[in-house]
Amino acid sequence: GLDDAQHPSFSRVFELVNKTNQFNTNGGRWSHESMLAFFEAGGAFATFTVRDRFADYGLVGVVIFRGAHIVQLVMSCRVIGLDVEVAALERVVREMRARTPGEPLAASIVETSSNTPCRDVFLRAGFTPLAGGAFELPLSREPVPAPHVGVVTS
């Protein structure tokens, strides 16, 4: 995970988070200072890259989380439809559960004029919808895998 501004991928993550509109679960933008404050408060960014038999897309996604809460998920529109976001969420959920045992996980969607492509991402990953755009993954439920997507941890 990325949890400080010295990480080699920081500038690409900063750009991706602040330029992505379609697959951005809350439309939020981050200043350099707000990212540093988030890291200082125990937050982290889990990044993911995508490669298939046709192309190496590079770093295309970020799951922003703190404790048991997914704050934001952002992904490049170049890989929409490949289910890599579900595979990434499964991996991040497992990491979050290891860090916060005994807590259900929370996430939310804030609808914007352009983020229709990501509004069902937490449902597809196995979360239960709650009121007001909130979602929960209870302790009794495992995250949904994307069996056709291989995940390699680096």
Note the pLDDT tens digit of each residue in 87-101. 899 999 999 999 999
Where is 64: in which H helix or E strand? strand 56-66
Q: What is the mean pLDDT of the chain?
A: 88
pTM strictly above 0.85: yes
Sheet containing 56-66, strands listed edge to edge, beginning at the edge strand earlier in sequence: 44-51, 56-66, 69-75, 105-108, 134-137, 128-129
Give dist(CA 66, CA 41) in Å, integer: 8
Contact call for residues 79 and 61 (beta carbons, < 8 A): yes
Confidence (pLDDT) at 2: 65
Note the pLDDT tens digit of each residue in 101-118. 999 999 999 999 999 999
Confidence (pLDDT) at 57: 87
